[in-house]
Structure 1
Amino acid sequence: LRKNVEDFTGPRERSDLGFVTFDITADILNGKNDFCSIFDWNVKQLFLYLSAEYSTKNNALNQVVLWDKIMLRGDNPRLFLKDMKSKYFFFDDGNGLKGNRNVTLTLSWNVVPNAGILPLVTGSGHVSVPFPDTYETTKSY
């Protein structure tokens, strides 16, 4: 779903606002996303986030975080999220979402240790989704 709305944070130009609904299935105990080896004695928590990456004629690379979750040691390590909506706005700084056929969604995570460096790990699975060629005019998402 994509709308063309006025962005009040800058010049009074209209920008694309994307809405994404997604599913995430991750089973940390069984290691389907290799989270098993991540939770060792020095791991306090994981910061998981879903990002969208795409290119436009104005920018070779655009990256936007759409959703995030903090997973503490001892939390249920199974994620079965269905029909989730974006937690954060998905604004493009122009009209780069309209008809964009290659918006790639990627699940990544940061390991937050008790002590030491913060490694960034990108998930092995990602999916590309096309955006429509027309604007949605409904008021609800």
Structure 2
Amino acid sequence: MFSTFQRIQQYWGFVTTVTVFLAAAISISSVIQEHYFVDIPRVSINVQSIDVRYGKPHIGYNYKRQEYSLMKFDLEADLTPLFTWNTKQLFVYLAATYPGKPYANKVVVWDAIIRSKEDAVLSLSDMTADYSIYDVTGKFNGRNATLSLEWNAQPYVGLLTWNKGSERERFEFPQPATAR
């Protein structure tokens, strides 16, 4: 009555349908679990030093002389509550936010990928920032800034979730070390 090809096609359609509904159920349960049952991690940030220099920042396409900032910091974070049964990895980064015209500037200073729950306890002291900060105007002018730990939880199945830590460290950009 049915050919072998038709039977394989029906079986494959059934398996595909079940897989899609199973993935949707996993995704929905992960979102519910994250919003209601996951604790906010403990985070502590301490800016050790900020060095503003005048020169070429040695990154990107911008070769003009301008002010750029290098920083050292301490970071203590326990991100183990973010690892659930559906968490594949965490993308964690420190972001510096400071006012600018016409919009506020947000710059990533340090980042890491955490692949397991065992590696989710961060204890960094006197860490040098991976990336220098420079402004499009070329000057910081002693602006106030905020440093915060943020993360992106990447699940095996489901939507990416972006969150911000509750700890924020405020600092001010000093005047450049060398005169112009």
Question: TM-score of the superposition, structure 1-length normalised?
Answer: 0.80
**Structure 2 counterparts to residues 32-51 of structure 1, below 5 A:** 35-36=80-81, 38-51=82-95
Deviations 1:62-82 (A, max 9, x none): 010000011112433221101
Unmatched runs of 5 consecutive residues or more in structure 2: 1-50
Moved more, 104-113 or 87-96: 87-96
1:88 aligned counterpart, secondary structure: coil
Give the aligned length: 126
- More relative contact order, 1 or 2 (CA 8 Å, 6+ apart): 1
Unmatched runs of 5 consecutive residues or more in structure 1: 29-34
Asked if the contact 1:2/1:98 (under 8 Å) is kept, the reply is no
1:78 paired to 2:121: yes
1:20 aligned counterpart, secondary structure: strand
1:25 maps to which residue?
76
Identity %: 34
Q: Which has the higher helix share?
A: 2
In the alignment, the residues of structure 2 paired with residue 76 and residue 63 of structure 1 have an alpha-carbon distance, to the nearest angstrom, of: 27
Q: What amino acid maps onto 1:80 in structure 2?
A: S
1:98 paired to 2:141: yes
Q: What amino acid maps onto 2:111 in structure 1?
A: D
2:97 maps to which residue?
53
- Aligned-residue CA RMSD (Å): 1.9
Deviations 1:93-122 (A, max 9, x none): 12442311x211010000010011101010
Q: Which has the higher strand share?
A: 1
Deviations 1:21-43 (A, max 9, x none): 11110123xxxxxx41x211110
Asked if the contact 1:16/1:94 (under 8 Å) is kept, the reply is no
Larger-gyration structure (1/2):
2
In the TM superposition, structure 1's runs of 4+ consecutive aligned residues that sit over 3 Å from their partners are: none
